[in-house]
C-alpha cells in the first residue's frame, strides 16, 4: 500500500521537489495497476534515491516484501548506469516460494536523465496455467466423423504454425513479438526444420506473428 510523506520521511540525497512529485505520481499508477489485478500481479514502486529502503509502495504482496525494503539488482544497475535500458519486459522470474513469474521493470528518470524510481510488475504465472488448461478444455470440440477431413491442409498448417510460435514464446515467458532477435532466429529455423515453410503463406504468417518483415523471416531461415 502507498506510504504517506510522514512515514517516508524527508526527501533524501539532495533530491529535488520535482523528483518527489514525479515519484508520487508514479505511486498512483502503481496502486491503480495493483488494484486492477488483485491477487494476480504484484506491483512495486522503488524509490532509487534510497536503495537501502527503496520500496515506496507495493500492491498485491506476492513476494513477501514490504514498504522500506531494499532495491533489487535491476534497481542497483540503474543507479550505477543512467544508460541502462529503461524497460525490461516480460522476463522470467520467480517468487521466493518457487512460483514462476513473468516480470516487467520500467525505469523512471528525472529531468536530469537520472534514474530516480522503477515501477515493477510481477505476474503470478502459476495462477494462469490452470486457467489456460480449463479454457482449452472448455473450447475443445469433437466430431463423430473423424475419418472425414473437415478442413484443408493449409488451414490446419496455419493453425498449428501459430500454436508452435506461441508455445515457443510462452516457454520463454514472452509473447512472439517480444522475443529477442536470437530467439526469433532460432524459432524460424526450427519451424523450417519442422516443415512449416511448405505452406505458401507460412513466411508471411510467421512475419506477422513475430512483428518483422517477410524478408527478415527469410534471412533468419538462412
pLDDT at 9: 40
Residues 196, 14: Cα–Cα separation, whole Å: 59
Question: 46 Cβ partners below 8 Å, 6+ apart?
Answer: 54, 55, 56, 71, 72, 75, 117, 118, 119, 120
- For 188-201, the pLDDT digits (tens) are 998 888 888 777 78
Pairing of strands 41-47, 55-59: antiparallel
- What's the pLDDT tens digit per position in 36-90? 999 899 999 999 999 999 999 999 999 999 999 999 998 999 999 999 999 999 9
3-class DSSP state of 52: helix
Contact, 47 vs 115, CB < 8 A? no
Whose cell is 536523465? That residue is 113
Is the pLDDT at 6 greater than 50? The verdict is: no
Give the CA radius of gyration of the chain: 22
Positive/negative CA dihedral, 212, 167, 202, 193: positive
Residue 153, judged by CB atoms within 10 A of its CB (0-12, 13-18, 19+), counts as: exposed
Q: Given a cut of 50, is residue 12 above it in pLDDT?
A: no
Q: What grid cell was written down for 29?
A: 499508477
In degrees and rounded to multiples of 5, residue 55 shows phi and psi of: -70, 115
**Can you tell me which residue has the cell 488448461?**
133
Of 194 and 94, the structure prediction assigns the larger pLDDT to: 94
- Contact between 41 and 124 (Cβ < 8 Å): yes
Residue with grid cell 533530491, as numbered in its chain: 15
- According to the model, what pLDDT value does residue 133 have? 63
What pTM was estimated for this model as a whole? Answer: 0.55
The pLDDT confidence band at residue 97, using thresholds 50, 70 and 90, is confident
> Could you give the 3-state DSSP secondary structure of residue 88?
strand
Lowest mean pLDDT among 12-16, 93-97, 113-117, 127-131: 12-16
Share of the chain above pLDDT 90, in %: 48
pLDDT greater than 90 at residue 106: yes
Residue-wise pLDDT for 153-191, tens only, equals 444 467 788 888 888 888 888 888 889 999 999 999 988
CA angle 45, 46, 50 (to 5 degrees): 150
Q: Tell me the mean pLDDT in the region 95-111.
A: 92
Mean pLDDT of 106-118: 95
Q: What is the pLDDT of residues 125-147, one digit of tens each?
A: 887 766 666 666 666 655 554 45
- Residue 131, pLDDT score: 64
Tell me the three cell numbers of residue 97: 516460494
> What cell does 129 get?
496455467
Tens digits of per-residue pLDDT, 28-43?
999 999 999 998 999 9
Amino acid at each position: 500500500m502507498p506510504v504517506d510523506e510522514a512515514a517516508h520521511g524527508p526527501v533524501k540525497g539532495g533530491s529535488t521537489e520535482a523528483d518527489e512529485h514525479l515519484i508520487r505520481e508514479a505511486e498512483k499508477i502503481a496502486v491503480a495497476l495493483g488494484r486492477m489485478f488483485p491477487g494476480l500481479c504484484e506491483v512495486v514502486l522503488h524509490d532509487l534515491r534510497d536503495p537501502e529502503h527503496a520500496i515506496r509502495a507495493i500492491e498485491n504482496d506476492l513476494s513477501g516484501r514490504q514498504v522500506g525494503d531494499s532495491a533489487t539488482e535491476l534497481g542497483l544497475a540503474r543507479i550505477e548506469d543512467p544508460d541502462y535500458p529503461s524497460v525490461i519486459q516480460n522476463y522470467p522470474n520467480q517468487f521466493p516460494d518457487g512460483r514462476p513469474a513473468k516480470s516487467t521493470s520500467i525505469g523512471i528518470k528525472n529531468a536530469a536523465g537520472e534514474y530516480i524510481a522503477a515501477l515493477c510488475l510481477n505476474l503470478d504465472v502459476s495462477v494462469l496455467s490452470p486457467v489456460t488448461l480449463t479454457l482449452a478444455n472448455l473450447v475443445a470440440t469433437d466430431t463423430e466423423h473423424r475419418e472425414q477431413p473437415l478442413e484443408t491442409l493449409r488451414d490446419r498448417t496455419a493453425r498449428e504454425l501459430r500454436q508452435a510460435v506461441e508455445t515457443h514464446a510462452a516457454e520463454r515467458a514472452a509473447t512472439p513479438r517480444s522475443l529477442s532477435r536470437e530467439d526469433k532466429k532460432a524459432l524460424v529455423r526450427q519451424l523450417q526444420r519442422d516443415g512449416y515453410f511448405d505452406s505458401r503463406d507460412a513466411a508471411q504468417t510467421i512475419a506477422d506473428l513475430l512483428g518483422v518483415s517477410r524478408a527478415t523471416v527469410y534471412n533468419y531461415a538462412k
